[in-house]
Structure 1
Amino acid sequence: MDAKRLIIFDCDGVLVDSEPIALSVLTETLGMSGIAIDEEGAAKRYLGRSLTTVRSLVREEYGLQIDDPFLTRMRDLLYARFSSELRPIHGIQTALDSLEAAGIAWCVASSSQIERIALCLSATGMLDRFSPHIFSASMVTHGKPAPDLFLFAANKMGVEPSECLVVEDSPAGILAARAAGMDVLAFTGGSHTGLLAYRDGLAALMPVQAFDAMENLLHLVAPARRPKDQPDA
């Protein structure tokens, strides 16, 4: 892996431990519409996907049109639980401090809507560390697993795709990073990673360099930054 100038973080499951809450709220809201699906099933179908993709998949599989009242119910439930329950991924502040000390820039590129990303970062005390470098799938035509969002983020940050490293937790995000021509690390430290559907989806993409301690991120990036004349530094 060559030296990187930019780390592109996904948000849910990478910066904040939100996936179990989000999956729970999604299954609850689908249940209100008569669709019974457990969190394993929801993870397999929808984890890491944009709202546009989720709406399309639900319509195709269940014939349900996710309309504005559905979205309002889901958003109200989700935001209430985020405000009271959401926590940052353990070690993320240490990782950001280390990147800053090493002179490596970062941004966030998430499938979530921009207001949800801002809420997640604000509720966990990280909004100031990412703003204004916050990019949402709503800013591009095609969400993950298409490469559009990562390419858009790199362009806005003034960095070539080959100089970017993506930190992702979902199969859709890993595929998007690869399609964008970017190196990618699979973060497996979120509390949702025990879900069988998640493990199966990630395993299908192996080999992927995975890590589960966010505070060790710089150690995975730093070897590529060692001087050529100090191979053992």
Structure 2
Amino acid sequence: MDAKRLIIFDCDGVLVDSEPIALSVLTETLTLSGIAIDAEGAARRYLGRSLATVRNLVREEFGLQIDDAFLTRMRDTLYARFRSELRPIQGLQAALDGLHDAGIAWCVASSSQCERIELCLATTGMLNRFAPHIYSASMVKHGKPAPDLFLHAARDMGVKPSECLVIEDSPAGILAARAAGMDVLAFTGGSHTGLSAYRDGLEALMPLQTFDAMEKLLHLVTPARRPKDRPDA
């Protein structure tokens, strides 16, 4: 892997351990609308996808038109649970400190709306480490697995796609990074990664590398330095 100038993080499941909460709220809200689906099924269908994509998939498969009342009920429940339950991914602060010391920039590019991304980061004490470099699928025409969001983030940050490395936890995000011409690492340190549907979908894509501890990130993105007294090491 060539040296990188920009790390593009997904948010849910990569920066914050939000996916179990989000899947729980989604399945509960769908159940109230007469659609019985468990966390495994929801993960297989919707993990890493934008709300617009989820709405389309639900309509196509179940014939349910997600209206404003559905969205408001789901959003209010989700945000309340985020404020009381959400935690950052362990080791993230140390990973960002390491990137800073190495002179590598970073941003976040998520399928969620800006309001939700900012809430997640603020609740976990991470907002000041990412703002203003926060990119949402609402900023582009097509969300993940299309490459639009990652290309938009790289363009705004002034970095070529080949100089970017994406950190993703979902099949949709991995496909989006590849379509953008970017290297991608799969992060499996979130508490949702034990779901069999998730594991099967991720392994089928054969990402460049998989890692489960954010503390390992710097070692994956920076080349090993040769000892000063052994230039030929």
Q: TM-score range by the shorter chain?
A: over 0.9
Question: Are 2:184 and 2:207, in contact at CA under 8 Å, matched by a contact in 1?
Answer: no
Moved over 2 A (4+): 224-227, 229-232
Residues 185 and 207 in structure 2, CA contact (< 8 A), matched pair in contact too: no
- C-alpha distance after superposition, 1:128-181 (max 9, x if no partner): 000000000000000000000000000000000000000000000000000000
Task: Specify the alignment match of 1:129 in structure 2.
Answer: 129
Cα deviation 1:36-91 (Å, max 9, x = unaligned): 00000000000000001000000000000111000000000000000000000010
Matched, 1:196 2:196: yes
Query: For 1:94 and 1:130, how far apart are their aligned partners in 2?
Result: 14
- CA gap of 1:225–1:130, structure 2 versus 1, over 3 A, is farther
Structure 1 gaps, min length 5: none
CA contact (8 A) 2:183 2:208 kept: no
The corresponding residue for 2:172 is: 172
Tell me the distance in 2 between the aligned counterparts of 1:176 and 1:224: 28
8 A contact 1:86–1:123 mirrored in 2: yes
SS for the counterpart of 1:194 is coil
Structural RMSD (CA): 1.5
CA contact (8 A) 1:169 1:188 kept: yes
Q: CA offsets, 1:3-53, max 9 Å, x none? A: 100000000000000000000000000011010000000000000000010
**Cα separation, partners in 2 of 1:166 and 1:224, compared to 1, 3 Å:** farther
Determine the structure 1 residue equivalent to 2:160. 160
Change in Cα spacing, 1:139 to 1:220, as seen in structure 2 (3 Å) is same
Report which stretch shifted further, 199-208 or 139-148.
199-208
SS in 2 for 1:192: coil
Query: SS where residue 118 of structure 1 aligns?
Result: helix
Task: Identify unmatched segments of 5+ residues in structure 2.
Answer: none
Residues 1-233 of structure 1 mapped to structure 2, 5 A cutoff: 1-223=1-223, 230=231, 232=233
SS at match of 1:7: strand
Say if 1:231 and 1:108 are closer, same or farther in 2 by CA, change over 3 A: farther
Tell me the amino acid that sits aligned with residue 123 of structure 2: A
Q: What CA distance in whole angstroms lies between the structure 2 residues aligned with 1:20 and 1:130?
A: 23
* Contact 1:5–1:104, Cα closer than 8 Å, also in 2: yes
Aligned-partner Cα distance in 2 for 1:189–1:92: 11
Deviations 1:193-233 (A, max 9, x none): 00000000001101530000101100001117879x9574x
Change over 3 Å in CA distance of 1:3–1:197 after alignment to 2: same
User: Alignment partner of 2:37: what SS?
Assistant: coil
TM-score after normalising by structure 2: 0.96
With normalisation by structure 1, the TM-score equals: 0.96
How far apart are the structure 1 equivalents of 2:105 and 2:149? 17
Give the aligned residue type for 1:121.
Answer: L
Task: Provide the secondary structure at the position in 2 that maps to 1:191.
Answer: coil
Count of residues in correspondence between the two structures: 231
Matched AA of 2:164:
C
